[in-house]
Structure 1
Amino acid sequence: MANLYDLKKFDLNLLVIFECIYQHLSISKAAETLYITPSAISQSLQRLRNQLNDPLFIRSGKGITPTTVGVNLHHHLEQNLNQLEQTINIMHGSELKKNFTIYCPQILTTNNLLKPMTLLMREHNYEVELHDMLLSADSAEDLLAYRKADLIFSIAPINNRSMVCVPYAQYKMILVCSQDHPRMNDVATLDELQEEKFTVFLSEEAGVKTYQSKAEQIHADRTIGFRCDSIFSMLTMISASYLVGYVPEVLYEKYRDVLRLKKIDAPFTLPAMEVFMIYNRSALNSSVFSTFIEQITEK
């Protein structure tokens, strides 16, 4: 049984602030997350340092890194704070309505993500909220930190101690056009491609920009005729015009008959597009969540 008198003498809010600093390795980021000033965060950290007789974090380059005591404290806190949060949620009646929020790019919603989501709704009575969109790394990190998302798929990886970020899938990119295209055959030369107008996926997301930079090195000086921030709108435009474009092969296989698309063998191969799966490490304490992760990573 816990010694309640000793707990009463200790400000438990200091542990919450410590854990937030540990997650972000940033005083200012922790302040933004908890809606308090950086000065208040620093003062609370100093109080905890005095009580534990350890600096907990030390300067490392332009940021901070935890000491051995800080790492050990985090390991003890992570699961306990998660259980406390679940207890509070139960008392608020949140167990009556369980939400599961996912953010992912459009190429994933046609893949093996759908079956596990159906299981969440049918077997565990979850209300699934799916946002079919790309996120920047900063946006994804904020959504997970604020518990506004349970699972995120992103083309840009995240480096955060409190989050799991692992490669999820690689998608082969191919060149396609309409079956009615008057000039494109099954095989195209570089000179022939230089005469065509291309589609481009419009995004400021770092992962997309990095990939497009790699693609530009392989196939430079393309003439752009259409830019769009929806991959499905791009496919539809290619189908209804004489545009050509690079799209994930998985989407081409799914929609080629409906949209009358044709694959073109280009004189070069673009790199595959890698997608990362990201979630809070503490979420694995939930058996439902850990089972869901196992289901969507089954090959």
Structure 2
Amino acid sequence: MLNEIDLSRVDLNLLVLFKVVLEERHVGQAAERLSLSPSAVSHGLGRLRRLLNDPLFLRTPKGVVPTERAMDLAAPIADILTRTRSVIATAEPFDAATSTRRFTIGAPDGVSAVFLSPLLSALHVSAPGVDISVRQILPPRAVRTTDSVWEPVLPDIEARAMDIAVVPADNAVPARFVARALYEEDFVIAMRAGHPFSKNPTLDAYCQEQHLVVSLTGDAYGFVDDFLAEQGRTRRAALTVPNFMFALGVISETDLIAALPRSFLAMYSRYFGLVGVEPPLPLIRSRICAITSKAALMDAGVAWLFDLLERTARPSATG
């Protein structure tokens, strides 16, 4: 564990040098990219080797190869540099028109697929240099209710692993967070066009069909099964897949049926030849909310993106 004396020896430029040498696998090419002399790069590598107590890069006739220790350090060092750039960027005045920042939004793909198109259109007009990373998140367990199921994303927001989460959230978030409702979402039963169930969407027929369930963990039991159990009924979950986009392709080519978000299906059904019918049983309805922390909103860039999401993701904006 580094103490204050060790930290005082660390030059952030050495971490940048490490990253570039790792990418180039050649001291001369790394030097050219960094606008340094090869000897300056070699000197920096020497300091890094002493600091980290490892050779880090071994010379070969064609350049250098990283040691096992260097490969282990690659991801943590890249993360340090990314976070450092983020900290520095937040200290600068934010101008959407000229900004080249990258923001991270976490969401289930059934949600991000709905808000991304209008968001990207707005960015193209007002912030052409801003980039977005979307982080796929799904509940860590089978969804039976939206109550508290998304709480695990809150620590990631506080740690700035993501700037904003867009998730179903029907309960109030803790006081240190801010949530804004974007749109209401519910589920329909989706299937390929011409599927027999579309002509006879009864509960009896529903229980007789083979089902696809979206589950990150592969757990096929969810809120639908709770309701069926209360009625003394069951269904067969013939397949689980880890995300909603995967589900679209599978049900378009099989006789499987699936409960999918209504807004999501409305946007993509025509591309996959799918139809949706009203469910013959109660399914989850929830508010889709953008959530971030009050601390993050002190960053003018995050506050701007939060406002933009609220404007563009409303039903009137998504159609």
Would you call these one fold, judging by a TM-score over 0.5? yes
In the TM superposition, what are the counterparts of 1:76-155 in structure 2 within 5 Å?
89=88, 98-117=101-120, 119-120=122-123, 123=127, 125-134=129-138, 137=150, 139-155=152-168
User: What's the counterpart of residue 303 of structure 2?
Assistant: 290
Classify 1:258/1:87 alpha carbon distance in 2 versus 1 (closer, same or farther; 3 Å).
Answer: closer
Q: Give the paired residue count.
A: 213
User: What's the counterpart of residue 275 of structure 2?
Assistant: 262
- Give SS of 1:271's match: coil
Does structure 2 retain, via aligned residues, the 8 Å contact 1:105–1:134? yes
- CA distance in structure 1 between the aligned counterparts of 2:217 and 2:173, rounded to whole angstroms: 19
Shift of 1:163: 1.8
Shift of 1:174: 0.7
- CA distance in structure 1 between the aligned counterparts of 2:290 and 2:138, rounded to whole angstroms: 12
- Give SS of 2:113's match: coil
Does structure 1 retain, via aligned residues, the 8 Å contact 2:297–2:303? yes
Does structure 2 retain, via aligned residues, the 8 Å contact 1:143–1:149? yes
Q: 2:187 aligns with which of 144, 165, 173?
A: 173
Classify 1:296/1:138 alpha carbon distance in 2 versus 1 (closer, same or farther; 3 Å).
Answer: closer
Of 210-219 and 281-290, the range deviating more from structure 2: 210-219
Does structure 1 retain, via aligned residues, the 8 Å contact 2:290–2:310? no
User: What's the counterpart of residue 242 of structure 2?
Assistant: 229
Of 279-288 and 230-239, the range deviating more from structure 2: 279-288
What letter corresponds to residue 126 of structure 1 in structure 2? V
User: What's the counterpart of residue 24 of structure 2?
Assistant: none
Matched, 1:201 2:214: yes
- Give SS of 2:103's match: strand
- CA distance in structure 1 between the aligned counterparts of 2:288 and 2:221, rounded to whole angstroms: 14
Classify 1:273/1:91 alpha carbon distance in 2 versus 1 (closer, same or farther; 3 Å).
Answer: closer
Classify 1:119/1:196 alpha carbon distance in 2 versus 1 (closer, same or farther; 3 Å).
Answer: closer
User: What's the counterpart of residue 29 of structure 1?
Assistant: none
Classify 1:87/1:231 alpha carbon distance in 2 versus 1 (closer, same or farther; 3 Å).
Answer: closer
Does structure 1 retain, via aligned residues, the 8 Å contact 2:186–2:262? yes
What letter corresponds to residue 118 of structure 2 in structure 1? K
Classify 1:226/1:279 alpha carbon distance in 2 versus 1 (closer, same or farther; 3 Å).
Answer: same
- CA distance in structure 2 between the aligned counterparts of 1:148 and 1:184, rounded to whole angstroms: 43
Of 277-286 and 239-248, the range deviating more from structure 2: 277-286
Does structure 2 retain, via aligned residues, the 8 Å contact 1:102–1:131? yes
- CA distance in structure 2 between the aligned counterparts of 1:173 and 1:155, rounded to whole angstroms: 12
- Give SS of 2:270's match: helix
What letter corresponds to residue 153 of structure 2 in structure 1? A
What letter corresponds to residue 99 of structure 1 in structure 2? R
Classify 1:215/1:129 alpha carbon distance in 2 versus 1 (closer, same or farther; 3 Å).
Answer: farther
> TM-score normalised to the size of structure 1?
0.58
Of 90-99 and 227-236, the range deviating more from structure 2: 90-99
> TM-score normalised to the size of structure 2?
0.55
Classify 1:209/1:256 alpha carbon distance in 2 versus 1 (closer, same or farther; 3 Å).
Answer: same
Classify 1:159/1:263 alpha carbon distance in 2 versus 1 (closer, same or farther; 3 Å).
Answer: closer
Q: Which ranges in structure 1 are unaligned for 5 or more consecutive residues?
A: 1-84
Q: Which ranges in structure 2 are unaligned for 5 or more consecutive residues?
A: 1-83, 141-149, 315-319
* Matched-pair identity in %: 14
Does structure 2 retain, via aligned residues, the 8 Å contact 1:135–1:154? no
Q: Provide the aligned C-alpha RMSD in A.
A: 3.8
- Give SS of 1:258's match: helix
